[in-house]
Amino acid sequence: MRKKTRQIHVGNVLIGGGAPIAVQSMTTMYTRDVDASVAQIHRLEDVGCELVRVAVPEKTDALALGAIKRQIHIPLIADIHYDPELALIAIEQGVDAVRINPGNLLRDKTTGSQYDTFKRIVEAAKAADIAMRIGVNSGSIDALERGPEMRKVSMRMRDDGTLERSDPAEERRREREELSSRMVAKALEYCGWADGLGYQNYKVSLKSSNVLTMVEAYRKFAAASDVPLHLGVTEAGTLVTGAVKSSVGFALLLADGIGDTIRVSLTAEPEEEIPVAYEILRSLDLRQRGVTFVSCPSCGRVEIDVLTIANEVERRLAKVQTPIQVAVMGCVVNGPGESKDADIGLSGGRGKGVIYKKGQFLKTVPEEDFLDEVLKEVAAILPESEAKLVYPGEGELGPVSAGRTRKAGIPAKTAEAIATASAAPKTRGKPLNIIPSGDGNEPGA
């Protein structure tokens, strides 16, 4: 059962208060490169991203936000560090939320107070009726408060003068406990600032690259407050490492009812974060958006190129938002059962396979038609707009697996050839000296 938190809004997306857990991501383009940023956000929209954050390190980036906002369809969040003026410009540009860490904001030039800096941003957010994420990261807490004190020790002197070896696991547990407590104390302090200013349209994040520290911090905060929570493991890592760390951390919290929005942080294209996020939510029965994909792990019993076929089917279903289950199986042991459990399932064998539709035998197809026939049947049960994305028409799917037998083996280049033939080009951002005319002032103005 989900923990009841107070409800806020980020643009037209409701957060907390029983609303569906929202999935968000962050662009990797230079924000000042409006065209590249918009193109990437459109790709994120296509795969189901519901909120998007952009970095705003300089004034030129802040002045580009209005042009980006006008061309996208999901709420836009400005990521601000240090300079409060960037937050104020972002709000003037019409963003739906700002993300700040009050602890790293520059102090007010007149009073020398971070609270006064925070107050200026809150008052602007209130006037514009936009949201805020108050972010507390373990790294910034360590740097500000502990420094060298956090160094590990392996030996200590007892009162009687003898040396005693410390337990590294116990040291790490104690450090996690102390660090998570400090993170929560800071977050609650900042929440008190916002509440005292009559502002409640905010959520909180307590991120760490250490999964257990992050889990402890969120649990402690959830026990003390009803503020909605954005879950994240910061600097999670590359595709496999990041997906595993996020899955473990999120599952421990979401299973306890903690969490209102999530972002899977990956060192990868942001479009790759969204399927991982939805798979986590589907696995916990918290969201049913998109395709639940089932495929066998492959073993000595497999007699078809299940790796290539499964990867290609999954790739072509990436933009489908209708909740369906699709299975691609490659042997006679588990194949028929798993395929029958799916809305559309393929149970392949040497040279041919059987397609099932909602548990019923549909047809037998030759191996060279596996991909074409599976996608055709999936498209047939989808809304027309999604069906065209999955199956554009006869002869338009590109190369298909050459098949696998124990005699011939798997053609090594098949998967690579399919990926190369069907990969969509992606634009990369680059630093620009100016933003499009009419959307702001020149840099430094």
Q: Which domain CATH number covers 345?
A: 3.30.413.10
Q: Has residue 428 got a pLDDT over 80?
A: no
Selection from 53-62, 161-170, 349-358 with the highest mean pLDDT = 53-62
Least confident range from 93-102, 202-211, 286-295, 326-335: namely 326-335
Asked whether residue 3 is domain-assigned, the answer is no
Residue 104 within any structural domain of the chain: yes
Task: Residue 31: give its domain's CATH number.
Answer: 3.20.20.20
Report the number of distinct structural domains present in the chain.
2
Whether residue 445 lies inside any domain: the answer is: no
277 and 298 housed in the same domain:
no
> Looking at the domain assignment, is residue 80 inside a domain?
yes
In a domain, 427, yes or no: no
Which comes out higher in pLDDT, residue 407 or 324? Answer: 324
Shared-domain flag, residues 105 and 217: yes
> Which of 34, 85, 89, 36 minimizes the C-alpha distance to 62?
89
72 and 98 housed in the same domain: yes
Same domain, yes or no, for 230 and 320? no
**What pTM does this model have?**
0.79
Q: Is residue 318 part of a domain?
A: yes
Residue that terminates a domain, selected from 283, 313, 348: 283
Percent of the chain with pLDDT over 90: 57
pLDDT digits (tens, 9 = 90+) for 241-264: 999 999 999 999 999 999 999 999
Average pLDDT (35-50) is 95
pLDDT band, residue 265 (cuts 50/70/90): very high
User: Is the pLDDT assigned to residue 138 strictly greater than 90?
Assistant: no
Residues 254 and 353 placed together within one structural domain of the fold:
no
Per-residue pLDDT at 425: 47
- In this structure, the answer to whether residues 262 and 400 fall within a common structural domain is no
In terms of domains, do 225 and 133 share one?
yes
For a pLDDT cut of 70, what percent of the chain falls above it?
A: 82
Are residues 316 and 263 located together in one domain of the fold? no
Tell me whether residue 434 is in a domain. no
Q: Which domain holds residue 369?
A: 291-420
Distance CA 364, CA 380 (A): 17
160 within domain boundaries? no
